[in-house]
Structure 1
């Protein structure tokens, strides 16, 4: 019987990111198996730490006497072998710790749920049904799943009525049918979507094609007990359809047949916690390790996926026959409503469509008036307390700071001294007020971050004002879609502005009923043409070509190195001899927000080719460990407490460009 347990300690300290050997006491011999939670003594910290057994064996490379395990927390083997292999690979790629990855992969323990799961009997066999995947030619997507192919799927626009009377986007129906086809082959499927709105549609579509007991939802909005119960249900050998947000790509699934991501360009797929691995990259790694099919679906295509298509790593799959929404381009000014903000073309289209069904109006900002400027000179109005932007939070309210909330009662322009405001950007509240006056008799509904709405009946004379990404699904689809504030959206700084706008507009246009017009206001050029012709991959290809010429991601990879100047300098020295392209900076990190402070941090950006990624990660990981274990002096009077390390490394940092 094995006598040594190799344990990964749950700790944020980078120097503890390895397996530690512990002796297995005879009393714990039957319980100490790979995958279980344990407690172990941590002598360097003089405390008991939590950990997970990764392996067991008969010997150890450590020459001294091994400390024994303190105890086994539970008999549940929560760390599946495939999840450990994935966590280790992701951590090494991102210069991070495997324990940080496993915190994302394994939900917090619920004792009551776990006890019930351990007492369960053998799972019953579930009935399976095969549902053809519509819209892509007979057997095209099914063949890709059976052949474990990697594909970039162009999602069908529009909405579909489900057997129970509910409606869902056609993209959700496609993913549900693909998951059911995978389940019918005795394999598991992992479906990841950006947020709860998408998940609601996907779960509704799955209910029509798969038995409820086969679906495990790891949605972040569920309670911890619900998430843990769903997680435990994935640990067996029986196939499951696993749905959730970005962390669902880490779910245990031994016989994995499909990983599918919808709308991978959504920033919600970028993990904000260390080691900051994007769900798309995790899916690529997992498919390489476990096999099965890989599917990236969306109404638009991210530049990262386009790169893989051009490398022939992914196969492009388009609908057959082609489905193209009706998109109308129009100038920003006209004789329509809202004081000329809505051109006459859009105004007429909305007015005519209201007699047939609901109309969607997409705007850039929530609130009432999200940005004010000086009435005389046009300079942006700033708070006199913290220099934050001034806004009007609601109708009849006084202007106030968006950062600190201070009222602008005695404000005067710092440039010309004038004390009058003018509205620069109308929010959803102000837009709804103006449209209510322009279309008397219409019911005006607002959907934004403060008033989220996921579904809407298809009644006529309903006008929906929604911020980008918060558009509710209307039964039967919208009779017309009007996309306002396109010029404002494009004024945001960043490399991905055009990609984001095209994604917002395409997803809104996909909610329209068949033949219903989508009017894009005030935007022209190649971006608008890509939407009008429904050729989003062409835009992604053009963007990728530009980024190759400039040496920008995803043509190359980047890593940001942030910390005190001397710490960043030492980290960059670790890259001597590593084949990188160049280093940009270091440059000071500007504090942001009302509570931000200037800590004297700097940031350098390292650019390198994909082939050098592992060498760069290894070198920077070494710098992180050295800085964490180096001679940082403790504060006076407290020898045990040392200042926190300031070095932070983030690969593929979305905040850089």
Structure 2
């Protein structure tokens, strides 16, 4: 047998399979707007643009702007979001590929959210893909299955479920783009409105210009505020809950960004007092609630995607959480509030390094809503924004109206502080001048222990004593520079030295 006629021997049934050539898939461009402009999940800055793809007629209904799709890009498959649909493209038709798959028919990035992402990317010098990776959580298919199996309904905020419902996500609006009309598009329980009215009366008695904030929360134009809370436990929680309830009563959504989950747990009971229920599984099936928590650090992927989808579909109107909540896909004029805007947790550590305060204010202005920065102490940014109406406007900052406490309530709420220095102790004729804890402080602490616990704070570790005369209790001074003498804490038997010049006090 010649070499050219040789044949590889095989066992029976193990003959090599002959591959059949597959015919290329037949595609028909959509009749209306066949070109999809897609933002791909590619983080390279030089690819920060939209790429054109054809939409097949069979996918035309599902491939709406804002949905998640899978496409071919170069030699790999990547995911992306349809940003818009058009009739024409600058790319030659022979070079345009078809969208391979529509991953989910739900509009994850509504029209207003797409506009906000573009503004945030422009303000911080990044691309839309950079912001999308922060804003849209990873997809979890089983959550979408739960959503489709649940019954579509819309219930009053803070109210109970109808008897004929099984729970689940609210149905999408008739707008194919996923956007919902602004204004009062959902019912509000009476407990929310009554609680908001009571809270307004309390704030009016304690804060100046609260009526301006109330009018902004119930109005339809953008305004920015710097809120200075009174000192005291649960004061900021009460004020924040009132703003959320007032926004809901006016038909607006509310987004509250907090530094850590500790503050989230502190705020939730106050919202429950207004009749608002957390977003949680219902006994009859599905997930229901009025207040959703969004956290990208400790929250499971399924819960985070479920919360994001509920907000995007309009079922939940109040979203609280950490830094991830600043991208909550709310629609229309909404309240965007942030607590302790100087906290380091508000800064994102990935390029283009957006800051929660700037993103929230930018989105509030884009939505025609209300921005509120609340803190125990004003940040330099908040103080600069309160310099006057002539403040220079930037995409992420500008003039803000101050809401500050009235003088009398502030005086009553501020704790009484007495500095027991030598002059004060001499004025009080305290014989223990120079002691570590003067007799005056001991007397005050003893009396306070009769009514409750006492917190004793030590300013720093390794505190050394300053020497005083055993007879007159005057502080010992250096003979050279008049500085205070001290004995190091770990060297009791050593010679006293001056704290200023270091000279030893020999035979003092």
Which TM-score applies when normalising by structure 2? Answer: 0.65
Alignment pair present for 1:93 and 2:116: no
The counterpart of 2:227, out of the listed 153, 164, 169, is 153
8 A Cα contact 1:10 1:51, kept in partner: yes
Query: Secondary structure of the equivalent of 2:312?
Result: coil
8 A Cα contact 1:113 1:228, kept in partner: yes
In structure 1, the partner of 2:338 is 261
Query: Secondary structure of the equivalent of 2:204?
Result: coil
Greater gyration radius? 2
Structure 1 position 143, deviation (Å) = 2.1
In structure 1, the partner of 2:291 is 215
In structure 2, the partner of 1:358 is 453
Structure 1 position 350, deviation (Å) = 4.5
The 2-side partners of 1:209 and 1:67 are apart by 53
The counterpart of 2:260, out of the listed 195, 207, 230, is 195
The counterpart of 2:83, out of the listed 45, 51, 54, is 54
The 2-side partners of 1:422 and 1:106 are apart by 56
The counterpart of 1:227, out of the listed 298, 304, 316, is 304
The 2-side partners of 1:340 and 1:227 are apart by 57
The alignment yields a C-alpha RMSD, in angstroms, of: 3.0
The 1-side partners of 2:70 and 2:437 are apart by 64
The counterpart of 1:142, out of the listed 211, 214, 224, is 214
The 2-side partners of 1:364 and 1:58 are apart by 69
Q: Structure 1: which 5+ runs fail to align?
A: 160-168, 374-420, 424-657
* Residue correspondence of structure 1 range 277-356 to structure 2 within 5 A: 277-312=354-389, 313-320=399-406, 322-324=409-411, 325-330=414-419, 349-356=444-451
The 2-side partners of 1:341 and 1:41 are apart by 74
Alignment pair present for 1:206 and 2:271: yes
In structure 2, the partner of 1:242 is 319
8 A Cα contact 1:180 1:210, kept in partner: no
8 A Cα contact 2:45 2:127, kept in partner: yes
Structure 1 position 173, deviation (Å) = 1.1
Which TM-score applies when normalising by structure 1? Answer: 0.51
1:265–1:329 distance in 2 versus 1, CA, 3 Å: farther
The 1-side partners of 2:40 and 2:437 are apart by 59
1:94–1:33 distance in 2 versus 1, CA, 3 Å: same
The 2-side partners of 1:32 and 1:364 are apart by 62
Query: Secondary structure of the equivalent of 2:359?
Result: helix
8 A Cα contact 2:126 2:351, kept in partner: yes
1:17–1:330 distance in 2 versus 1, CA, 3 Å: same
Q: Structure 2: which 5+ runs fail to align?
A: 1-31, 160-188, 278-288, 390-398, 465-487, 491-508
The 1-side partners of 2:126 and 2:442 are apart by 53
* Residue correspondence of structure 1 range 244-643 to structure 2 within 5 A: 244-312=321-389, 313-320=399-406, 322-324=409-411, 325-330=414-419, 349-361=444-456
Aligned residue-pair number: 360
In structure 2, the partner of 1:19 is 50
The 2-side partners of 1:271 and 1:347 are apart by 47
Structure 1 position 237, deviation (Å) = 4.1
The 2-side partners of 1:323 and 1:145 are apart by 24
Which is worse superposed, 92-101 or 49-58? 92-101
8 A Cα contact 1:239 1:255, kept in partner: no
The 2-side partners of 1:296 and 1:175 are apart by 10
1:345–1:178 distance in 2 versus 1, CA, 3 Å: farther
In structure 1, the partner of 2:19 is none
8 A Cα contact 2:336 2:361, kept in partner: no
The counterpart of 2:243, out of the listed 170, 174, 178, is 178
1:354–1:18 distance in 2 versus 1, CA, 3 Å: farther
